[in-house]
Structure formats: structure tokens, C-alpha cells
Amino acid sequence: MIKPIVTSLIMLRMPSEEATPEDAQVGQDLLDTLAAHAHECVGLAANMIGVHKRVIVVQDGSKARLMYNPDIIRGAGEYRTEEACLSLQGTRPTARWRRIKVSYLDEEFHQHVRTFTGEVAQAIQHEIDHCNGVVI
Ligand SMILES: [Zn+2]
């Protein structure tokens, strides 16, 4: 189901809790909501649709990649950039890693450890920040 986007900073700054298989519907709602905003957005975190669970979706090429409980194990190649966010107005400066190693559970709750680079790595970092209650 396509959900409205939360813009309240009070809501966005609350850290999210670990997700469980019972949060599968949250994942589906994130996929549906990202698809509805595909022209303006490359990722979403669950708290942006009002659910304080650690679930994110990022556009990875042609695939919308769902991640439960994502964690950055390692980052390399720090750089400064500007980002926009569907929950905020305008762009803001931030620091990111060019390459990250991430552990996460996929849509079937299978564990993965994978390295991501470039735009998808940037989107994952932005959405994990949301899980931690951090807005750019
Ligand atoms: Zn955002």
C-alpha cells in the first residue's frame, strides 16, 4: 500500500527498533511507496512512512532492494556531498563512504553480507541514518 510521507522532525528523529518477520507488510508498503515516488526518490526508510522499525528499500539499478536490520560493518573512501530527502525541503551537505560492507536480511529474512559502491551505497547510508533517527 502506498503510504503518506512523514515530514515531522520529531517523528523522524526517533530511532527505530529491530525488525522481525512480522514486519513483512512494512517492507511491502515501502516497495509500493518507493514505486510511487520513483521519479524523485531512490530510497525510503520505514520511519518515513510512520513505522519505527529498521527496514529500508533502495533502488539498486532496476531492482528495488529491501533490507531488514541493515548495518554498515565497514566503510571506505569518505567524501562530502549534498543530498535531498523526500521528508525535507532542499539539499543538505553530508559525508558518505564510497564503498560500504553491509549486513542485512533480505525480503525472505535470509542473512547477507555484501559490498555496495556508488549511488546505491550512498542511498543505503542515507536510509540507515533514518533508522538511527538521523536526518541530513
Ligand atoms: Zn531521507
| Ion ligand 1, residue ranges at CB < 5 A | 85
Q: Which residue segments constitute the domains of the chain, with CATH numbers given?
A: 9-131 (3.90.45.10)
Q: In this structure, which long-range contacts are made by residues 33-42, counting pairs with CB atoms below 8 Å and at least 24 apart in sequence?
A: 33/2, 33/3, 33/5, 34/59, 34/64, 35/2, 35/64, 36/2, 37/5, 37/86, 40/86, 41/86, 42/119, 42/120, 42/123
Distance 2 CA to ligand 1 centre (A): 17
Contact 67, 58 (CB under 8 A): yes
Distance of CA 34 to the CA centre of its chain: 11
| Catalytic residue IDs | 127
Per-residue pLDDT tens over the stretch 55-103:
999 999 999 999 999 999 999 999 999 999 999 999 999 999 999 999 9
- List the beta bridge partners of residue 114: 102
Percent of the chain with pLDDT over 90: 99
Distance 74 CA to ligand 1 centre (A): 21
What pLDDT score was predicted for residue 94?
96
Distance 99 CA to ligand 1 centre (A): 19
What pLDDT score was predicted for residue 87?
94
Distance 21 CA to ligand 1 centre (A): 24
What pLDDT score was predicted for residue 51?
98
Distance in angstroms (rounded) separating the CA atoms of residues 129 and 16: 10
Contact 43, 58 (CB under 8 A): yes
Q: Whole-prediction pTM value?
A: 0.96
Per-residue pLDDT tens over the stretch 2-32:
999 999 999 999 999 999 999 999 999 999 9
Distance 43 CA to ligand 1 centre (A): 7
Grid coordinates in use for 108?
525472505
Mean pLDDT, residues 36-45 taken together = 95
What pLDDT score was predicted for residue 49?
98
What pLDDT score was predicted for residue 30?
98
Instruction: Tell me the torsion sign for CA atoms 81, 130, 23, 110.
Output: positive
